Amino acid sequence: MTNSRVVVIGASAGGVEALMQLVEHLSPQLNAAIFIAVHFPPGSVSFLPKILNRAKTLPAAHPHNGETIRPRRIYVAPPDYHMLIHPDTIELSRGPRENGHRPAIDALFRSAAQAYGPGAIGVVLTGMLDDGTKGLQVIKAEGGVALVQDPAEAMFRSMPESAIAHVEVDRVLPLTALANYIVDLYSVGHCA
């Protein structure tokens, strides 16, 4: 990928609504690829890409294993697959569940940190328990940016609260402000 920038987003309970609000405020000029992991039960069908495409900001889809990463796209982890990112490609894995889930947010975040280092932004949204916290720690350790939805706004507070308690986060913001912050960091013409 030519721009070497990725935004990885993790959500669980209440995540579809939060993601829709976030994506509605992203710019089509966002000079990064976006990856989303949401907890879905195995064997379920995810309509999340279709839902996010209603925002008409960035095209969303479930990726294929080995797909080349392109900027200004949203890649949604399919149910029952971990989505791992490499410097230029996406890997879909049926590896062991993490935190009881596949896809797991931590797995996505770790892969982003390892592949993109300071070019990675990790975002933890609404959800229960603590998936995303350890992965966000790795993003910070590799020089990336850690963002968290304001727990006061989250439908389920425990994932954001866990991230805030265990990671030196860069910003805790409501969804619209999170989207604006990402756009300011990574829009065409606003980044090096």
Inside any domain, residue 192: no
CA distance 8 to 113: 10
Amino acid 14: pLDDT: 96
pLDDT at residue 71 in the model = 94
**pLDDT of residue 41 exceeding 90:** no
Rounded to an integer, the average pLDDT of 171-184 is: 97
Cα–Cα dist 48/20, whole Å: 9
Q: Is residue 30 part of a domain?
A: yes
Question: How far is Cα 139 from Cα 137, in angstroms, rounded to an integer?
Answer: 5
Rounded distance, CA 173 to CA 151, Å?
9
pLDDT digits (tens, 9 = 90+) for 18-32: 999 999 999 998 999
CATH code for the domain of 81: 3.40.50.180
Domain assignment of residue 58, given as a range: 6-186
Q: Partners of 38 in the beta sheet?
A: 11
Residues 103, 81: contact at Cβ < 8 Å?
yes
Across the strands, what pairs with 147?
A: 123, 171
- Quick check: is 87 in a domain? yes
Q: 7: pLDDT confidence band, cut at 50, 70 and 90?
A: very high
In a domain, residue 144? The reply is yes
Segment 49-63 mean pLDDT: 97
Clarify whether 131 is annotated catalytic.
yes
- The whole-number pLDDT of residue 1 equals 42
Residue 161: CB atoms within 10 A of its CB come to 16
Q: In this predicted structure, what is the pLDDT of residue 188?
A: 56
Q: What is the structure's pLDDT at 187? A: 73
The residues, ordered by sequence, that sit 6+ positions from 152 with a Cβ below 8 Å of its Cβ are: none
In this structure, is residue 191 part of a structural domain?
A: no
Catalytic annotation, pick one of 101, 106, 111, 131: 131
User: How many domains in the chain?
Assistant: 1
What is the predicted pLDDT for the residue at 154? 98
- How many Cα atoms are found within 13 Å in the side-chain-facing hemisphere of 160? 24
Report if residue 67 sits inside a domain: yes
Average pLDDT (114-122) is 97
**Neighbouring-strand partners of residue 60:** 74
**Range in 42-46, 98-102, 114-118, 132-136 with the lowest mean pLDDT:** 42-46
Average pLDDT value for residue range 41-68: 95
Residue owning tokens 């279709």 = 50
Asked whether residue 59 is assigned to any structural domain, the reply reads yes
- Determine, yes or no, domain membership for 1: no
Bridge-partner residues for 76, per DSSP?
Answer: 36
Q: Which of 39, 82, 101, 106 is catalytic?
A: 39
Decide if pLDDT at 138 tops 90: yes
Predicted pLDDT of residue 77: 98
